[in-house]
A and B are shown apart, each in its own frame.
Chain A
């Protein structure tokens, strides 16, 4: 069974540009999470999508946004890129809805570098 996939592997952008990152969840998983892993800041929750809707977001500005498609894949958009947005962006999926156990399965990540 295929795991969570993300593309691209690496992305280099200039400050002020927009970045688009993509994620395909494990088959049968309808919940997708996005996390930012920045140097010195650890792993931080960004966004949660479930059944095509944004359900919750972490403490990030509105220029971080995204969507979930009917096939449950997801896209993260970062507008007006700043140098501190340079990080590894991880996508995770799990079975849908509110879940007591709720283990998440992670993709390999997209390394975003802003110059």
Chain B
């Protein structure tokens, strides 16, 4: 079946550091890829998406590029802030959404001032 693998952390960085959270996937066909963020005590918020190879999703300074050749969708941000502290989930959907979203385990990001 489909699967998503991402580093679980916690990942601790200083404010203004460069962020990379790795995400790789296994899926049949051509999935759509997403990054969701979960702040403490809240539900999931869609951060960015990409629907085909070489697409770059971006939002709030975060970026991720759909790499079909390496089956990856790594999340990056050039300068993180304390407010970026949250849990980040990489996810995919295939088969038109019939199986829901398949999520990675989530990466807990802690940004220290």
Our pick among B45, B100, B104 for the contact of A45 (Cβ within 8 Å) is B100
Say whether A102 contacts B106, CB under 8 Å. no
Say whether B103 contacts A48, CB under 8 Å. no
Our pick among B96, B102, B103 for the contact of A99 (Cβ within 8 Å) is B96
A105 and B32 in contact, given A42-B103, A42-B105, A94-B97 (Cβ under 8 angstroms):
no
The interface bits of chain A over 18-58 (1 if a CB of B lies within 8 angstroms of the residue's CB, else 0) are 00000000000001010100000011011010000001101
* Docked pose: A94 CA to B32 CA in angstroms: 14
* Docked pose: A97 CA to B98 CA in angstroms: 9
Q: Which residues on B are within 8 Å of A, measured CB to CB?
A: 32, 34, 36, 42-46, 49, 51, 89, 93, 95-106
Known: A45-B99, A58-B99, A103-B32. 16 other contacts (CB 8 A): A42-B104, A45-B100, A45-B101, A48-B98, A56-B99, A92-B101, A97-B96, A100-B51, A102-B93, A102-B97, A103-B34, A104-B97, A104-B100, A105-B46, A106-B43, A106-B44
